[in-house]
Chain A
Amino acid sequence: MTDTVAIKKVKVISGKHSALAGWYTAAMAAYALKDTEIAVFHVASDEEPVFSHGSLALQADVLLALQNLGLTESALVNHARAMPFLANKYMGWQGKKHVAFAGLAKTGVPLGGVNFVHYLARLRNETNNLNWRAELFSLNTICALVGTFAMPSGDPRSILSSLEYGLRVDAKLLCNLLKQVALELGKGSELHADAFDTEDQFSGRETITLDCRVSKEPTCKMLLDTFLIETSGLKESVPRVNNLSNEYECTDDGYVERQYVSGRQYVRKFFSRRFTKENKSLSGPFNECSEILLAPNTHDVWQHSLNTIYLFETGVHQLLDNGGLGYRTQQLNTLWPLLSGVNSSTLAANFFNRKSAERYRYWYDLALLPVFLCDRKDSEFWQLKAKLIEAEDLEYAISFYQRTGVFPQLEHYPADLGLIENTLLAFDKYPNASDPLSLAVEIGDLERKLTMLKQQIEQTAMQLPQFK
């Protein structure tokens, strides 16, 4: 440990397609290291950046990190066109007419210490009435459906406390905000250069490089390897839509994601080059259109010998509605405490790489969840899907959930799998067994209780103001 050289510089590198990632990383670094002697630099590309996510859907984890940077919700609303969302809407995944919502908040309310879903599953199984759907018991989904919204209540007795929302923001505007924050916070200077030609400028053991660029040579193929992006709504002819859900529409060769940010619609189409030879244009007028190739980065995230950490601006993160910011936030928060004495041994790098691999598995599973759950078999893509997708943990978690109504405790999955659970229910993956403890309520009584809850949620949702 005698050869330890203290870290003096953190160098963030981003490219044409990774400006947002670069500025987010730079801002986070500048904030984390602001009281230190460590300088933060960001080497960004001179080219006009492409925002592969026209918009981002952000939930509590990222919003909290942004808040630490001083980017409050009102800042996001005022400067990044932020607009709340309550649910994900799935269309055409389980047959053409399939429409289902997965709310952000937990479905129902626990009765007698037993998870609500057990009662719901029991009611469905015993009355054989499949119209009892989870969506009916979530203020999030009903509000999303009828287009009403109010800020959640902090009072746990109020039904409004069960509402949870996320924010969708314009990626380009968010990037600008992050750039301002980074420049204000850090001693870092903005360097424009072709990022790939700057390798030598900051070499030396006292510098650690955080490389945010899309990997140049993808080493393995992914199921969904391409996406197209489109932003609509700038033209006057397109009506402004204030939709409180993010939409996911299943197509023959992948799916289309639609997000709404203060009247604008951002569309991304994901598909596989293996099954789609030509660019298929998306519906609606194009303002921007770009094609991006996806591939996972398979080598170690932290290459100790190079003093470089690759923060994955590629791979599965592009599939995530938050553009991978959730994963990036976790990664960066893990990184800062490891920077002391990092040059002396591979210990910190090994630890970081292990944690990264574990987390990547979770985000990968989350990104591919609807694709995994889709039971379509009517096109080549969907027929081959089952063979191409590998999600061992997800498979275990889902099959266990369906058998038991609870999720297994997987160390690298978050404790709260509420959104995954809601998605499973939206895809009709109800548990086929319920907790024996749920037997304590007589079935008629249960039906009455659930009917009352359903009515209460409906009434509340209808009474709330329309979102404008």
Chain B
Amino acid sequence: MQAVNKVVILGGGSAGWMTAAALATVLKNNYAEIVLVESQNIGTVSVGEATIPQIALFNSILGIDENEFVRETHATFKLGIEFANWKQKGHSYMHPFGSFGTDMDAIQFHHYWLKMFQKGEASDLDAYSLAAVAAKQGRFMRPENRGNSPLSKIAYAFHFDATLYAKYLRKIAVSRGVKRIEAKMEDVCIRDTDGFIDSLVLDNGQVVNGDLFIDCSGFNGLLIEKTLDSGFEDWSHWLPCDSAIAMPCLAKNNVYPYTISTAQEAGWTWRIPLQHRIGNGYVFPSRFVDTQKAIDVLIQQMESEPLNEPNILRWKTGIRKKSWVKNCVAIGLSAGFIEPLESTGLHLIQAGIAKLLGMFPHQGFEQIDIDTYNQQTKLEMERIRDFIILHYVATQREDTEFWRYCKNMPIPDYLRHKIDLYKANGRIYRQDAELFNETSWLAVMHGQGIRTKGYHPLVDTLSEAEIRSRLEHIKQVIDNSANVMPTQAAYIEKYCKAMSQNSALNLSGLELQ
């Protein structure tokens, strides 16, 4: 069967350039020509972007020097997310990366902790997570090989400027042979024999033929939807937020290595710290909050004056029924959209790329490959969706119509089962290739105030005293470990400080010329 000779990527945001950079790296030895079509006249959605630790894998595939990457994208490090006002007004909890405590005798740590917590004899959960403790203290370091110490298992991600990230990846991709075409797509040509995409017609008159097309055109899905009529499954009844405004400001407070998500009367705001500024945003349901109100609320809660006019985004939460149709794979927003509450945007792109590489076609395009890809994508999205819904449904707030709606809305069966299972005996199972692990579910279920009736019976094989001392020991080790970590500011200064804001702007100005 003939190989795919030419891959055409439509759209040059994070999705487009991540895909281009990855393909350019993997399809080596002139395996296939890669073309990316983008227009500077079409804005990208990129705002300050938070990620999850899986990004490291992607960076390593590309062979990226992490310090350079942090510098170029004005990144800071991220150890988790703090959720404020979600369970109740005035309450907050941490969803840290990495694990809580350590498993003992093949039984998960949290069962031992639950037993003691129920007795009122254990600290709250955060105390057993190095990430949570360090984050709160503004400390950060990358893991170092220190044997059993939690310091060797530090899981981290980044906050970075997505526009700079796309630019950075573009540099890499182009240096690895990706051909960039500056143009707007005007039309698509379809093969009459099988309905496959044959080529894109650009506004400069050029016709770009290809064997495989990657649709990174954003919400609209110019290829996957407007051309191939994939269809869309609407999830907005579960996740009613459909709008966001984003505005950066200068950092006034300490730049701590975590994202803050603060629940509002309807929806939530984010605070994503970068090296030189803070990304702020408000994700809200337009049915409950009008845009001007949202802007007012955000500005009022920001720590300093906004640097830009608000960037307003609208979407519909849900998934493309098929993200791979014929010879077109949708990656990024074109494949579906889930609000960035758990920073899953870039991860979904990366996961899409990984699956595409796993299922990379030849010109025969086996339907079973395509079906498998679509099944996997759907599963992955649904699990993430359920995890996000958890944040809303497991609230104790009833102070606004929005929260009353969330608290009482019917939820997907999988989520219901997961909550019920936890409520019974604190058990958490990770199914299939589910993204969020036991730690995440635990952090959020407990953080949102879900309490269990019991715990794993085998915990009782150990005496209470034994458990008490072990928990105390773990907490101690974590405190000690945190104490040896430098502050994030110091760490960045040492390894990966971006050039000053002004010079960075100049530099990008030069590049544009």
A and B directly contacting (CB within 8 A): no
Q: Which residues of B contact A (CB under 8 A)?
A: none
